[in-house]
Amino acid sequence: MKLPSEIRVDRGARLLTLRWPDGDERTIGHAQLRESCPCAECRRRRLAGDEVRAAEGVSVTDLQSMGYGMQIVFSDGHARGIYPWTYLAQLA
Ligand SMILES: [Zn+2]
């Protein structure tokens, strides 16, 4: 599995930047990350046809590497999503 060689969080611009081993660098907005949360609760809402809406100005406050991906903690208190690296690569 491909792991990012560098992870940067810009809280001012609310961007997450992932650099991959091949040098490819991709940026994802924090709101997009929040709305794409892969936790069971958010997945269930999307399956039910509801959108998961990010609160205005939501940002990433913490990251925990989990081996196969990373847990992302958001400023709205939501911290249940563990984003696999492959999923992050698709989002960016
Ligand atoms: Zn979620």
Q: CA 2, CA 89: separation in Å to the nearest integer?
A: 9
Domain boundaries, the chain: 6-91
How many Å lie between the centroid of ligand 1 and the Cα of residue 38? 6
- pLDDT tens-digit profile, the chain (92 residues): 689 999 999 999 999 999 999 999 999 999 999 999 999 999 999 999 999 999 999 999 999 998 899 999 999 999 999 999 999 999 98
How many Å lie between the centroid of ligand 1 and the Cα of residue 2? 23
Position 8 scores a pLDDT of: 97
How many Å lie between the centroid of ligand 1 and the Cα of residue 34? 7
Read off the tokens for 84: 């696999």
> Is 3.30.70.260 the CATH classification of the domain at 6-91?
no
How many Å lie between the centroid of ligand 1 and the Cα of residue 23? 29
- What contacts 84, CB < 8 A, 6 or more positions away? 38, 68, 69
